[in-house]
Amino acid sequence: MRCKGCGYSLFNHRGRTCPECGAPFAPADFEFRANAVEFCCPGCMQPYYGTDPQGLPEPRAFACVTCGASCELGTMVLRPAPGVREDETELHRVPWEDRSLPWRTRFLRTVSEAMVRPSRLGASIAGSREGGSARFLLVLATMASVPTALAVLGFIGFLALGAVPPGSAQFSRSLRAEVAPWALGCAMGVATAVAAVFACVLVVAGLATLVLRIAGTDAPWRRVWPTFAYTSAPLVVCAVPCLGPYCGIYVAGTWWLVAAGIALGTSCRASVGRAIAAVAIPAVIVLGLVLGGAVLFVVMPATAAVKAATAAGAAAATAGPAPADGANDEGDLDVGADASGDPDSEPMPEAGPDPQSEPPPDREVSP
């Protein structure tokens, strides 16, 4: 039980103001673990224990069984139960789920806890009775993608409107013609980025649940999902406009997986080995899917195009100047098999030396 203003320990005090900073407090402002705190009669220090879900004595006011003095929660002296460390008395909550705080405070505290103390965050998730992690992820993903979108929009706006006097008819025409489509594009970019974050967290958390259950760990979705959703907080580094999405994503991704693995240890009581497996296996699968997709849809077509261009260049180098008709379709990938392929359609004319001045001795001549 620490002062919410300055962090000073408030146990063993009869007053109801913080001795350090003077801020008022009440035991009812806190939540305690069952039987972790003694509530003592102010007259004789007879201890009583908290029995309600908040860890407070029920009823709140009664007559002391030893001295008969009136005991009220507001006047009782609180101290940790024997054998309980002071920092183990409170029932930790995920800061985001503490509705008594303004949302910015809840957000920032959750981000810092996820990044710096994921183990404590995991313990809070284990004891959490509320939800809200999806809303947290929504705020986080939007926050991470909007600055870049705004920076892009601002740059485009600067280019489009830089020389146009504001307020003129031409200004509003330019605004409609150039900036409005870009604004729409940026909004769609933000929506896509948010959807991609949700998809990624969903897939990784789903696979992690599967891995943990196969390994024999009790991994309910209501704990695994918040663990991965809250620990994705390092994504805030992507809020650095333009730079973030390119460099920050690697830092954020690695940080996320490490934090999630540590948090799983307390949220689902997963052993170190299982927590590592629950994070590493989904990460490898997702990375494999992304890389496989990149190879299939980007690298392979690009390689084929380069091969075709090289073959066309070689053909041009050995066959001499090509006829200037340019009949072939641009980007035709089968052109490499054809020695008389049109070199004008491929961007490789400078690949070989001039065939008329010096024929390449080592180049294979196609029939």
- Chain residues binding Zn ion by CB under 5 A are 3, 5-6, 8, 18, 20-21, 23, 41, 43-44, 46, 64, 66-67, 69
Closer to Zn ion at the Cβ: 44 or 365? 44
Query: Which tokens hold the place of 151?
Result: 């920076």
Closer to Zn ion at the Cβ: 3 or 268? 3
Closest distance of CB 258 from Zn ion, Å: 34
Closer to Zn ion at the Cβ: 1 or 141? 1
Closer to Zn ion at the Cβ: 46 or 366? 46
Question: In 3D, which of 258, 259, 275, 360 has the Cα closest to residue 318?
Answer: 360
Closer to Zn ion at the Cβ: 5 or 181? 5
Query: Which tokens hold the place of 73?
Result: 């929660």
Closest distance of CB 124 from Zn ion, Å: 22
Cα 367 to Cα 361: distance, rounded to the nearest angstrom: 16
Cα 259 to Cα 241: distance, rounded to the nearest angstrom: 24
Question: Sign (positive/negative) of CA torsion 131, 2, 106, 198?
Answer: negative
The residue behind tokens 């900036």 is 179
Per DSSP bridges, beta strands 61-63 and 70-72 are antiparallel
Cα Rg of the chain (Å, integer): 33
Closest distance of CB 173 from Zn ion, Å: 60
* Backbone angle region of 59, left / alpha / beta, with phi > 0 → left and psi within -120 to 50 → alpha: beta
Closer to Zn ion at the Cβ: 43 or 157? 43
Q: Which residues, at least 6 apart from 212, have a Cβ–Cβ distance to it below 8 Å? A: 219, 224, 264, 268, 270, 274, 278
Closest distance of CB 48 from Zn ion, Å: 9
Closest distance of CB 9 from Zn ion, Å: 10
Residues in the chain: 367
Closest distance of CB 67 from Zn ion, Å: 3
